[in-house]
Structures are given as C-alpha cells and as structure tokens.
C-alpha cells in the first residue's frame, strides 16, 4: 500500500545578506492514515515543513525536494493551478490563531457557505444545510446563532472549531494543523483536540500536528518527529517520547516544570553545535 | 502588614448596558517575600486585578494597599508606588520600544526614578539578569525573545522595587528559554528579597514559582490553596479540580 504522503529530502532556503539560510534541511518522512506530531522550538523549521507540503512558501523562499508525493502524485511537479485543486480539497491546513484566519467582516455562516460552494456544486440552501451539519460535527451547541455571528463575537475556542469545520467541508485526505490549540485555554484545548481526534478516526484522514508542546504531542499523536535547526534529530512512537534518547529531546523534556515533581531549579538546555550539523534522521 | 492587600475589589469595564464585571469581590493578601499565583482561564479576570492595581484599569471599587499604603483611585500613582511595585508583561516583543537601545530603556527608567549614578547601575542591572555588557547598546530586534524578557526584567528591577507583578512572563517563550527565565526570577527573588504576584494559565509554572495560588473563574476567586494541596490534586472546589485535570494532559475520550 502506498503511504498517503511521502516527503523525500525536503529543503527550504531563504536568501539573506550573508548567503542562503537553510530553514529546513533534508527532511524525509512518510505518513499513513495516522497522527504524526512535529515538535521543536521556534525556528526549528516545523511550520516551514508543514507549509512547504502545500507549496505555500513564497519567493524569495526556495523549496526543493526529491519528491513530495500525495497518494503517489508528486506535488513538486504540479503547476500553481493544479496546486490550487490540492489545497483545501485534498490537504487542508488549520493555523494557530482563529483571530487572524477568519474574515472579520463576514458572518461565520457566509464564510462556511462560501467555503462549501468553492469546493462542491450545489445550491445555497444545500450549502447552508451542510454548514449547519459541520458546526454540529465540531460540537457547536447553537449552530443557528453561530451562523449569524461575526468572528469577534466568538471565543477563541469556538473560532478554532469553526476553522476546523471549514477545513473539513471538502473532506480532505490530509489535515495539517499548525499549533491549532496554542492560543486556547487548557480546558478548551482538550475539547478541540477531541474533535480533531474523532474526525481523523471517523474519516480515516491523515494528520500532521505541529506543536511546541511535547506533552501534548506525546498524548495526542501516534508518531513524533523532533526537529532542531531545520533537521529531524529524533523520531519515535509518541507514547515512547518520554524514553527519548537524543540529548536535545531529553533537554526539552527536563526543562518543563512538573506538577507532580517539585524541583528547586529547572534544568537548562545545553545546546551542542553538533546537533545542528548531524544529518536528518530517517523515520523507519 | 502585608506587601499586597486586596479587600472586596471589583473591577469593571464600560458603563450601563455594556458594563462588564471583570473582577467581582476579590479579597486576598500577599505577605512580604511571598510568591502568590493567580490562575484561571482567559477572561477570568486574573490579569485585570494586576491592571487595576497599577492604574491600567481605572474603574474599580473596594480597597487595595501596597506595604500598608492605600492605593488611590484613577490612573495616577505616586512615585512611592512605582518605586515599590513594578510589572513584567507577557509579550517581550511588544513591551520594549523598537527604536530604543537597551541602554536608553534602562537609563530613562533610572533617570525618572531620580538616580544619579546611572552608569554603574546599568552595568549591575545587566549583570543581574544574566546579560553581559555586550548587550548594552543593542536594539530589541537584535535580541531573542528570552533576551528581551531579560531586558524587561532589568527595567522592572531598575527602581529597586520590593514587589514584582509578573503577567504571564514566559508564555511567549520556548520551554527551554522559559526554564532560564524562571530560574532567573527565582534567583532574583532570593537575592533582592522580592515579593511576586504572578499570573499564568500554566499550572505547572505557577506551582514551580508560587507558595499560594488563587483560582479564578468568571471574575471571582473560587479558591485559595497552598502549592502542596495543588500538587497533591486535593483542591476543595470542583472547578479547580477540573482545571487541574485539564492541565495534566490530553486523555482520549
């Protein structure tokens, strides 16, 4: 069986005054119908990896890869017009902050209806019915009222659920979620994750979950890639993350304060320049 | 006499129909040298309490006092207040002037507080927060997030306050940098005998930094507990239990 997504030797580069800067350096991985977590600090290249799959890196940024295959089709060979059919239809993306992703001057209902009609053929009435279904699917209690509301009238958690609803309308095969819950409270976070989890399972979607939160990824995903300075330094099963071996992963885990284990001082990560130099690890 | 004293404090925004009661009848005190945490969801009013104290949210009722001195109404505070209370904000990218060097930021603060020996004080402040003299003439865009937060802490320490208000001081930072900043704050508190009032949504961070923690929900303090109680997961209030449960991690349901 071909994997849903195959990424081989992905590089993202940006020209700077002092030469080319490599934001992502030779990343390769495969994804089936599973939840793959990508974790790392800011600047580690995790978001750039997610964006380059959708070919969303604009010039002067440069993306090269041996291939990025979705169901065997190489996205690197696609024209911009072909890519537009992939974006949203087959691969959807949920961004970090719903405040910046929803249109502030359009009601939620209009935005959902528009999203549906861009991707499917059908009447406005049908689009409206489907929009209401989607809001219910993401556990919004009063969908009729929310349809009429504008984004500023909604909480962050609701906004993010609406984003997820919108992304799921065209029934994509792969969902890329870039820090989908970082702007949310812990209590709302769990709710949003549960919804994503259920949708991934019910629809057999693949999920790439980009996050800086190690514990969250360990609990939520099946597999994890740990990125540092544009490279994958370690990969493991998510439930084995706490047994990770790489000193960077260990350092990150140990620098977290813990509710169940009081410490006098927190451990500070000591960076080794060799981590950035070593080649990317290939997940098995 | 407590370092910070809040009695029946309510804070609101807007008037009439648009009035929002952000904090309702909050009472607590923070002893000298104590570290006190405020936790709760966004919109629960935890930051608003700090903002009312510092004059950033001028509509409030009740009584507040700093080291026994009552806090006046309105936006203005006297020199004595600013000499004893300083604040570190959440976002180090937004809280530093982009066109002022570290040197300008610190010397202006020192000047405003009437210090004359500015030169040696800047050197000492930078040393205190773990930035070498090399950082003195840099601008914010030449600093990382963690370094910026160190500058913001240096600025807060400049008037030699006894009380630091920390509004989510590490939530914009990576976990590795968070550990450095939390260690720095712990050291500074011991060295300068500081009192902390800290707001955070991260319960593990608050447990690491504070001895007592107040839990807020919809503008009210529902519970004040000791850190041991929190670590043992034996709070009295059901909302606190829910909050603790949620912060322990995602469980598949």
CA distance B104 to B151: 11
| A41 contact residues in B (CB cutoff 8 A) | 174-176
- Residue A274 is predicted with a pLDDT of 80
Q: Check if the beta carbon of residue A230 is closer than 8 Å to that of residue A22.
A: yes
- Whether B252 shows a pLDDT value over 60: the answer reads no
Residue count of chain A: 284
Say which of B174, B186, B201 has its CB closest to residue A186: B201
Query: Which residues from A are below 8 Å from B when comparing CB atoms?
Result: 41-42, 155-156, 185-190, 193-194, 197, 212, 214-216, 219-220, 251-252, 255-260, 262-263, 265-269
CA distance A185 to chain B (A): 6
- Residue A5 is predicted with a pLDDT of 93
CA distance A52 to A9: 12
Q: Check if the beta carbon of residue B51 is closer than 8 Å to that of residue B31.
A: no
- Residue B194 is predicted with a pLDDT of 95
| B213 contact residues in A (CB cutoff 8 A) | none
Would you call B33 helix, strand, or coil by DSSP?
coil
Q: What CATH code is assigned to B33-54+77-247?
A: 3.40.50.300
Residue B114's CB is within 10 A of a number of other CB atoms, namely 9
pLDDT mean across residues, chain B: 90
Nearest to A95 by CA among A171, A216, A184: A184
pLDDT band at A54 (very low <50, low <70, confident <90, very high): very high
> What are phi and psi for residue B189, nearest 5 degrees?
-65, -40
For tokens 């709710």, name the residue. A191
- Comparing A127-141, A219-233, B22-36, the range with the smallest average pLDDT is A127-141
Tell me whether B190 touches chain A (CB under 8 Å).
no
pTM: 0.83
CA distance A218 to chain B (A): 9
Is ipTM over 0.85? Answer: no
Any idea where the domains of chain B sit in the sequence?
A: 33-54+77-247
- Sketch out chain A's domains with CATH numbers: 1-90+211-284 (3.40.50.300)
- Residue A262 is predicted with a pLDDT of 84
| Dihedral over Cα of A171, A173, A177, A181: its sign | positive
Residues with Cβ within 8 Å of A100's Cβ and at least 6 positions away in sequence, in order, are none
- Residue A1 is predicted with a pLDDT of 60
CA distance B167 to chain A (A): 16
**DSSP per residue, B167-233:** ESTTTTS-HHHHHHHHHHHHHHHHHHT-EEEEE-S-HHHHHHH-SEEEEEETTEEEEEEEHHHHHTT
> CB B246 to CB A262 under 8 A?
no
Q: pLDDT exceeding 90 applies to what percent of chain A?
A: 32
CA distance A7 to A26: 10
Tell me whether B127 touches chain A (CB under 8 Å).
no
Mutate to test the interface with A, among B176, B201, B225 (most CBs of A within 10 A): B176
| Dihedral over Cα of B42, B45, B51, B57: its sign | positive
């Amino acid at each position: 069986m071909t994997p849903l997504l195959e990424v081989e030797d992905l590089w993202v580069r940006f020209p700077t005054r002092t030469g080319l800067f490599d934001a992502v350096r030779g990343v390769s991985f495969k994804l089936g119908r599973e939840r793959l977590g990508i974790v790392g600090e800011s600047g580690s290249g995790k978001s750039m990896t997610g964006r380059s799959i959708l070919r969303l890196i604009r010039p002067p940024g440069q993306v090269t890869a041996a291939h990025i295959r979705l169901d065997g089709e190489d996205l690197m060979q696609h024209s911009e017009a072909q890519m537009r059919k992939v974006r949203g239809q087959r691969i959807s993306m949920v961004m970090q902050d719903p405040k910046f992703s929803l249109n502030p001057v359009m009601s939620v209902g209009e935005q959902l209806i528009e999203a549906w009609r861009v991707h499917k053929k059908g009447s406005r009435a049908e689009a409206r019915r489907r929009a209401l279904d989607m809001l219910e699917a993401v556990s919004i209690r009063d969908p009729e009222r929310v349809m009429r509301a504008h984004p500023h009238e909604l909480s962050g958690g609701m906004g993010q659920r609406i984003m997820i609803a919108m992304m799921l309308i065209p029934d994509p095969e792969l969902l890329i979620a870039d820090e989908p819950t970082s702007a949310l409270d812990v209590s709302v976070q769990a709710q949003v994750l549960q919804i994503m989890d259920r949708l991934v399972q019910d629809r057999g979607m693949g999920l790439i979950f980009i996050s800086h939160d190690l514990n969250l990824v360990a609990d939520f995903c099946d597999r994890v890639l740990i990125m540092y300075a544009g490279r994958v330094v370690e990969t493991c099963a998510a439930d084995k993350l706490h047994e990770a071996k790489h000193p960077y992963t260990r350092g990150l885990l140990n620098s977290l304060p813990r509710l169940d284990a009081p410490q006098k001082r927190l451990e500070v990560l000591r960076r080794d320049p060799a981590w950035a130099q070593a080649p990317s690890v290939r997940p098995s | 006499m407590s370092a910070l004293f809040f009695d029946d404090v309510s804070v609101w925004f807007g008037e009439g129909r648009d009035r929002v009661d952000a904090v309702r009848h909050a009472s607590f005190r923070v002893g000298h040298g104590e570290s006190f945490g405020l936790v709760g969801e966004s919109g629960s009013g935890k930051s608003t309490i700090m903002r009312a104290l510092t004059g950033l949210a001028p509509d409030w009722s009740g009584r507040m006092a700093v080291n026994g001195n009552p806090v006046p109404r309105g936006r203005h505070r006297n020199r004595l207040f600013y000499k004893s209370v300083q604040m570190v904000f959440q976002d180090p990218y937004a809280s530093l002037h982009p066109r002022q060097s570290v040197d300008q930021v610190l010397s202006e603060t020192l000047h405003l507080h009437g210090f004359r020996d500015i030169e040696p004080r800047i050197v000492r402040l930078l040393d205190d927060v773990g930035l070498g003299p090399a950082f003195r003439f840099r601008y914010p865009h030449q600093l990382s997030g963690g370094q910026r937060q160190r500058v913001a802490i240096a600025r807060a320490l400049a008037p030699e306050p006894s009380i630091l208000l920390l509004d989510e001081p590490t939530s914009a930072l990576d976990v590795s940098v968070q550990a450095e900043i939390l260690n720095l704050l712990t050291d500074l508190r011991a060295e300068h005998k500081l009192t902390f009032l800290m707001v955070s949504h991260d319960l593990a961070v608050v447990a690491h930094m504070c001895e007592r923690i107040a839990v807020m929900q919809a503008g009210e303090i529902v519970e004040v507990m000791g850190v041991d109680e929190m670590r043992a997961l034996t709070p009295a209030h059901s909302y606190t239990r829910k909050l603790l449960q949620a912060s322990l991690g995602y469980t598949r349901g």
